[in-house]
Amino acid sequence: MIVGTSVKGRGEWHGAADTITLDEQTRHRRRMAMVSDNGIAFLLDLADSRFLKSGDAIELDDGRLIAVAAKPERLIEIRARDTDHLLVLAWQIGSRHLAAEIHDHRILIREDSAMAELLAGLGATLERVESGFDPQVGAARSALPPSPERAAGRDGADVILTGQEPAFEG
């Protein structure tokens, strides 16, 4: 079977043999059998789990590249009165640990009626849209570059993943 073992970021490649269109949740992977949009079957087998962003390319062991495209999803586009208001809205979204794609003048989140109600109550302008979704990558272990400490579980990332309170000195 053809194997994809590395990923090239947007702007670091050209000339894809095909495209694979995936929703946001399916693009967070380490190992998975995949089939490109035009039928190239391959095994994604990365050293570490990572988020495949739209515009990245999976490099196959035969030298071909498969471009990653974000599948359109139902999202909420959030707009604010000004930059300060947008920061308040972003804080509300982040405090609830929701995936968010943040831009200069808008934020995209997955459809969530409770969050939409809260944001509308804070004066946000909301619109349902269908678009690819490339949220910011969080501080979870899989988003960090590999290190011997993380591999051995000695980097404190377990605090984030288990929900335990971190210990502060001083």
Q: Which of 124, 103, 85 is nearest to 112 (CA)?
A: 124
**How far apart are the C-alpha atoms of 130 and 148, rounded to whole Å?**
41
For the four alpha carbons of 43, 45, 50 and 52, in that order, the dihedral sign comes to negative
Cβ-Cβ contacts under 8 Å for 17 (sequence gap 6 or more):
36, 40, 60, 64, 65, 66
The angle that helices 113-121 and 83-95 make with each other, rounded to 10 degrees, is 140
Burial of 126: CB neighbours in 10 Å, binned 0-12, 13-18, 19+: middle
Residue-by-residue pLDDT tens, the chain, 170 positions: 899 999 999 999 999 999 999 999 899 989 999 999 999 999 999 999 999 999 999 999 999 999 999 999 999 999 999 999 999 999 999 999 999 999 999 999 999 999 999 999 999 999 999 999 999 876 543 444 444 444 444 433 333 333 344 444 44
Q: What is the CATH number of domain 3-70?
A: 2.60.260.20
pTM exceeding 0.85: no
Domain 73-131 belongs to what topology? Alpha-Beta Plaits (3.30.70)
Q: Which of 5, 4, 2, 40 is nearest to 19 (CA)?
A: 40
Domain borders along the chain are 3-70, 73-131
Question: pLDDT at position 136, please?
Answer: 87
Q: Which of 170, 62, 29, 12 is nearest to 20 (CA)?
A: 29
Question: pLDDT at position 158, please?
Answer: 34
